[in-house]
DNA sequence: ATGTATGCAAACCTTTTGCATATTC
DNA sequence: GAATATGCAAAAGGTTTGCATACAT
């Protein structure tokens, strides 16, 4: 565990519930270590993904977002107007998986859902 | 409507139910017009997206996939083992949207779900 | 004839990689 | 001391863009 990895790990914990992308993390990391390198950040995120510490989200075109891995799986809602990202649990997930197993024969391991529309404030 | 656009449009129709990525489309297009350019393909796909003729899918890391826009919204299942992509309807979608409206106040406009696991053949 | 689309090459942007040096255990 | 991680700079890969030419209406 190097200084750089510690910084990135701490950052991810601090950002829990948020969904920063690489450049946001890079800016934050540079405040703690101005010499930290972007490739170190990328390499560390890759390691953390492998170690199941961090999850990569594909919420937007431009770049990936990252979040620290939480106990329970959850989904993401993106507000079209203000861009706010909200986490939510997929209602009746068990039922959905069972239904799809029945109808299509899938053995579902993960579900990634991105809902978009208007959030509570913007609707 | 140019020759190139016609070729790409016809291709997309032919590929209905499949989910080709750009290079697959490019290869197919070059069979009909060996001089067609990759940037024309990209530009045309962008136009078709704007015109709601084509939908862009983010099923994999490496590249986007494209499909011709169908009447009813559907979701995608990707088999971890064989890579097969299957379309499916999200069970009880209305209920889910209603539930999320109630709990979180969302006004949901689109849902993009990517389920992965094992398909019927591979499970 | 006017406006729009094309081909080509170059640029862009995010992410990855090779390599020498520095750091961790 | 051996193995691994870092910084730097360069490359990679998919996608976009500027511009002169060609095409559609």
Same domain as A31, residue A12: yes
Give the pLDDT confidence of B23-81 residue by residue, as tens digits.
Answer: 999 999 999 999 999 999 999 999 999 999 999 999 988 889 999 999 999 999 999 99
pLDDT at res. B52: 95
Distance of alpha carbon B9 from the chain centroid: 14
pLDDT category of residue B98 using cuts at 50, 70 and 90: very high
pLDDT, mean of residues A84-110: 96
Same domain as A64, residue A46: yes
A99/B contact by beta carbon, under 8 A = yes
In this structure, is residue A123 part of a structural domain? no
3-state class of A71 per DSSP? coil
Q: Measuring from the CA of residue B5 to each C1', which nucleotide is nearest?
A: C5
Domain that holds residue A7: 3-68
Decide: pTM greater than 0.85. Answer: yes
Assign residue A96 the CATH number of its domain: 3.30.1490.190
Give the pLDDT confidence of A91-102 residue by residue, as tens digits.
Answer: 999 999 999 999
Is the C-beta of residue A58 closer than 7 Å to nucleic acid chain C?
no
Same domain as B8, residue B62: yes
Give the pLDDT confidence of B60-74 residue by residue, as tens digits.
Answer: 888 899 999 999 999
Give the number of domains in chain B: 2
Distance between the alpha carbon (CA) of B30 and the C1' atom of C6, Å:
15
Q: What is the rounded end-to-end Cα distance, in angstroms, of chain A?
A: 45
Q: Which helix (H) or strand (E) holds A115?
A: strand A107-118
């Amino acid at each position: 565990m190097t200084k750089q990895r510690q910084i990135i790990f701490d950052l991810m914990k601090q950002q829990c519930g948020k969904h920063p992308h690489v450049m946001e993390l890079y800016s934050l990391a540079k405040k703690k270590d101005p010499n930290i390198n972007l490739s170190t950040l990328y390499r560390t995120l890759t390691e953390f993904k492998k170690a199941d510490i961090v999850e990569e989200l594909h919420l937007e075109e431009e770049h990936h977002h990252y979040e620290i891995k939480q106990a329970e799986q959850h989904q993401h809602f993106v507000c079209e107007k203000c861009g706010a990202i909200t986490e939510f649990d997929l209602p009746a997930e068990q039922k959905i998986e069972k239904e799809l197993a029945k109808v299509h024969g899938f053995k579902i391991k993960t579900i990634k859902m991105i809902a978009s529309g208007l959030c509570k404030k913007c609707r």
